[in-house]
Amino acid sequence: MGLYNSEMKSKGQLFVRNGLIIAFLVLFAAATIFPIYFMIISSFGDPVEAGAMSYSIFPSKISFESYSFFFKFSPHSWDWLLNSLIVAGCVTVSNVFFATLAGYSFAKMNFRGKNILFAILLGSMMIPGQVTQVPLYILIVNVFELQNTYTALIMPSIVTVYNIFLVKQFMSSIPKEVIEAAKIEGCSQPKIFWHIIMPLSKTVMAVLSILTFMAAWNDFFWPFLVTNTMDMQTIQVGLKNFRFANTTYFAPMMAGATISAVPMFILFFALQRYFLEGVTVGAVKG
């Protein structure tokens, strides 16, 4: 009888603990999803000034007029989306390619000064991005005179130290015996990288693609600095055109924000299998 009561008490405690964990996770998920839900719901409102809008959690009606207003308000709405797609796509491809090359070099190749160079790269991660914005702006705009061009939008983000570090940590877990066996078979370094390392690195490459695309797509500050015409603005910068000195077209702005979120959702769900596998990339070696 005492053993039965002990088991029931243990099961009751386990049930309460699991219930609390589930309740916390539900609340956390609701807090995370609610801003996205509110953005989408608000985008179905009428395209009126912010002061004239009636805000509610549950919409009284569904209207697509704000989406139509978003594209009719400015002739450059499609340009904003295209610019963001070009910039984010180029930055993503360049980061995956160069970070994979650099990560492989630091992880599997031996050359003089490797540890010092890698330490310098890691040290640069400690510098806040805002500190480098002014000299970078002077370099791009005044020295190279690249303002209002795709080059100015893409060049500073061709590859990031964080991505190199992430790839290096992942490739350090690839057994050296695989590379040594390829060398014995007569494979050169380019062949080893292309035919062995790249297929084994699909997971980390997918993680890089998602994180880099999201960062480039959502970037506001740098595109705002180096673009001075509406036809070269990205979608995040373009959305500020719906805000004026005395009012804001809130619903059309939310419609544009919803449209801008679609590519990220598509990319994430297309690569979510690799992303979920790679959330602990570099955390476990061996």
- Please name which of 38, 37, 33 lies closest in space to residue 53, comparing C-alpha atoms: 38
Residue 138: per-residue pLDDT: 92
CA 156, 89, 162: angle at the middle one, nearest 5? 50
Query: Concatenated DSSP letters for 33-93?
Result: HHHHHHHHHHHTS-S--GGG----SS-S----HHHHHHHHH-TTHHHHHHHHHHHHHHHHH
Residue 17 has a pLDDT of 82
The one-digit pLDDT tens for each residue of the chain (286 residues) are: 555 556 666 767 777 788 889 999 999 998 989 988 988 888 888 877 655 566 677 777 788 888 888 888 778 889 999 999 999 999 999 999 999 999 999 988 888 888 899 999 988 888 888 888 889 999 998 888 899 999 999 999 999 999 999 999 888 888 888 888 888 888 888 888 888 888 888 888 888 988 899 999 999 999 999 998 988 999 999 988 887 757 778 888 889 999 998 888 888 788 777 666 655 554 444 4
CATH class for domain 65-277?
A: mainly alpha
Domain ranges of the chain: 65-277
Nearest residue to 260 via CA among 22, 7, 70, 51: 70
Spatial contact of 43 and 64, defined as CB atoms under 8 Å apart: no
Crossing angle of the two packed helices 250-277 and 2-43, in degrees rounded to 10: 140
Backbone angles phi, psi at 34, to 5 degrees: -55, -45
Instruction: Give the pLDDT of residue 177.
Output: 86
268 SS3 class: helix
Give the whole-angstrom CA distance, residue 121 versus residue 105. Answer: 14
